[in-house]
Amino acid sequence: MAFCLPELLSQLNWKGSLRQVFESVPGDGRQFDEPQLIPLFRRLGYTATPVKALLDQLTAADLPGLFLGGNGWAFVLTEQGPAAVHGFDGAKQTFGIVERSPTSGTYYTFREGLEGVADGSSDGATMPSSEGGFWEGVCNRRWAVPLL
């Protein structure tokens, strides 16, 4: 799921800094999981709303969003076609197409502008060193910018 975060923020037209992402993600991000998703987005200035859903029941009005299926599968849905949905596959770390099927999971929609800690304050998380680190790799793959 961590690899989906940069693409999801991009799809939401988030205007914050990479530092805010680093400071908002719990720990070093390697253990980032579903229970931490709602608090993370609250710190970035969004409300995340989870609903149990079937992939083939989502509509264009539900996009963009994050679909979490079984076995930890995470997919950022960006477009919808008649037979497939388009988006970013977190496991493969690539954009792709997924057939619209009755795959069950949790779908997160996001709404901007509610109270958050998007002012740059943190909950004790520290930014990884510029010599490397998990989040540097994740974010640099998407945004292709060096850490400050």
C-alpha to C-alpha distance for 148 and 130, rounded to whole angstroms: 7
C-alpha to C-alpha distance for 53 and 17, rounded to whole angstroms: 31
Q: What is the pLDDT of residue 88?
A: 95
CB 32 within 8 A of CB 74: no
**Sites in the chain below the pLDDT cut of 50:** 115-134, 143-148
CB 80 within 8 A of CB 127: no
Q: Write down the pTM of the prediction.
A: 0.75
